[in-house]
Structure 1
Amino acid sequence: MYDSTENSTTPEGSTNPTTYSYRIHAFELYAFSISFLVGLPTHSYVVWLIVKGTGSGVASGFFNLNLSFCEISSCLNSLFFVICTVYPFLTKLALFTQGFGITGRPLFQCLMCVERYLAVVHPVTFLKFKPLRYRVMCSTVAWIITLGSCLCCLLILVSGNINVHAWFFSLQFILFFSIQLFCLSAVLRVLKQSGPGERVREREEENHMKRRAFHLILITTLNIVIIYVPITISGFFTIMTKQYIPAIWFPALICFLLAGFVQPVLYLHRAGKLSCLCS
């Protein structure tokens, strides 16, 4: 998440701290490069499928569409971090675009989970807010919050206060994870309820819809755990030790980058574009 060439503490027994630091830095550059080269075409393909109307269409996949745009911005963030090693004037742009991954990604994931939660637990309310204009309003607010987070990341990191940055994304993780955990438990509780007065076929179709929503929320919640738990642990470690150690942050960075591929794979699977791989 930060420049690994900064002063840091290396593990005991490291005979060459400078070489160790640059080795970690090289691994980070490889991770950023893979994130950009694989993530950009994957998320762009998902955007193309949603706009084209393949799968569930633009209306029902509107939050997924915004999430893909946010992930594309995160891929560009990876590109900026690679380029700024050669062109340092792009460093501020790289720091600014961190907000798309820190806030934008989990925020749109939460909107998707809340949408599934309303569809299962409060279907009448879901039908009331089903029109596209409500999704556009929620997405507009989400983008404003995300851009505000980008500005905060820039100001905090330019000031060099890593501890404040660690608190910044750690508190966001707790908030977003709590929302998704609530949606997951509520859908699970409704899923376990039986409907004795319903027809067998209708009950099976309803249960299939509930299970699908539950699985989506479960995978999304596990995804956000993979994204933020390692980074949060690294953040608290940085807060306690008051120093940045590349070896501690590198595994968290890998989890952060790889977790961005979960949502596009889920959408491609639902759209039937991974049938050749599944077979």
Structure 2
Amino acid sequence: MNYSTMNFTPEAYPNSTSHSFGVVDTLNFCMFIFSFLVGLPTHCYVIWLIVTGAGSGVASEFFNLNLSISEAGFSLDCLMFFLSEWFSFLLEFKMFLAGLVTTGRPLFQCLMCVERYLAVVHPVTFLKYKPLRYRLICCAVGWILTLGACLCCMYTMVKHKFVHVWFMSVQFVLFVSIQLFCLVAVLRALKQSGPGERVRENEENHRKRRAFYLILITTISMVITYVPFNTVGFFSIVTGIFNSAHYVPGLTCFVLCGFVQPILYLHRTGKLSCLCLFSSPLPQNK
């Protein structure tokens, strides 16, 4: 399966049509340029804000911090895409970095959704496991899995496309299933009125709505990220035709979806006060 960091060359697609390659190659280069020039500064800015405590602190934003690190790795991977055109020894390193976002992005997004789920549905458990050390353990396991995915991408992305398709599809179904479970559970909790005073009840519903919309946006973002690639990947395996033009929409969705979480975080911390799109589902804490 062709993925975002694969070489978009005729050799990578022996059955592709050559007459459309020039336009496709230009579009791919534009997306990688955009991801590197805009994505890297954006994710580094988010990392700096979290580390310096501009938001809710490192502890509460620890999963978001790790997500931004993996996204910054993808932006560097876009740079490796260009350099590997002139320095072939960077090819394997380029495919290795692909695992930082192909697995790191959905994994840390999933951890964020599970954390919101626990905070809403099981608040006692959430308070019990809220300290930073538990987040450190989860992220350590997450990075071990991500590095394993990096090795998998390095050895399967070009030589074993069928294995890569199944690997991406299985993890996509797994992560989306977990997020959908969290989404439905938070929605059910939102519909139930909690005991207590009316002001306290409104604050509780406000917190539940924020968690619900964050999980909803994250789940939709993951679907948009992986459905185009998995669909085209299975089509390529079945037909035996690997046309680079088929992957342009998937690459576009993949790059643009990487900006969803940074925009949400910057808006939540007041750095994007002019952004009104998410002001209703994700209002500021008072």
Same fold, TM exceeding 0.5? yes
Alignment of 1:1-279 (within 5 A): 1=3, 2-5=6-9, 6=11, 7-10=13-16, 17-157=17-157, 160-195=159-194, 197-278=195-276
Runs of 4+ in 1 over 6 A off after TM superposition: none
Matched residue SS, 2:7: coil
Paired residues of 1:163 and 1:242 also in contact (CA < 8 A): no
Paired residues of 1:100 and 1:150 also in contact (CA < 8 A): yes
Q: AA paired with 2:51?
A: V
Q: AA paired with 2:167?
A: F
How far apart are 1:277 and its partner, in Å? 4.5
Q: AA paired with 1:213?
A: A
Matched residue SS, 1:222: helix
How far apart are 1:156 and its partner, in Å? 1.2
Distance across 2 between alignment mates of 1:237 and 1:118: 38
Paired residues of 1:226 and 1:255 also in contact (CA < 8 A): yes
Paired residues of 1:167 and 1:235 also in contact (CA < 8 A): no
Distance across 2 between alignment mates of 1:229 and 1:130: 33
The superposition leaves residues 125-164 of structure 1 with CA deviations (integer Å, 9 ceiling, x where unpaired) of: 0000000000000000000000000001111135x12111
**Alignment match, 2:283:** none
Paired residues of 2:39 and 2:259 also in contact (CA < 8 A): yes
Paired residues of 1:166 and 1:236 also in contact (CA < 8 A): yes
Paired residues of 1:84 and 1:90 also in contact (CA < 8 A): yes
Q: AA paired with 1:42?
A: T
Distance across 1 between alignment mates of 2:236 and 2:181: 29
Distance across 1 between alignment mates of 2:193 and 2:274: 36
Matched residue SS, 1:58: coil
Would you say how many aligned residue pairs link Structure 1 and Structure 2? 271
Distance across 1 between alignment mates of 2:167 and 2:274: 42
Paired residues of 2:117 and 2:185 also in contact (CA < 8 A): yes
Distance across 1 between alignment mates of 2:7 and 2:241: 13
TM-score (norm 1): 0.94
- Measured on the aligned residues, the alpha-carbon RMSD in Å equals 1.4
Q: Percent identical across equivalent pairs?
A: 58
Greater helix share, structure number: 1
How far apart are 1:226 and its partner, in Å? 1.0
**Alignment match, 1:13:** none
5+ residue gaps, structure 2: 280-286
The superposition leaves residues 16-62 of structure 1 with CA deviations (integer Å, 9 ceiling, x where unpaired) of: x4342232122111111110110000000000110110111101000
Paired residues of 1:70 and 1:100 also in contact (CA < 8 A): yes
Distance across 1 between alignment mates of 2:41 and 2:173: 31
Paired residues of 2:64 and 2:112 also in contact (CA < 8 A): yes
Distance across 2 between alignment mates of 1:8 and 1:199: 67
Q: AA paired with 2:133?
A: R
Q: AA paired with 1:242?
A: G
Matched residue SS, 1:60: coil
Worse-superposed segment, 106-115 or 186-195: 186-195
Q: AA paired with 2:240?
A: K
Paired residues of 2:267 and 2:273 also in contact (CA < 8 A): yes
TM-score (norm 2): 0.91
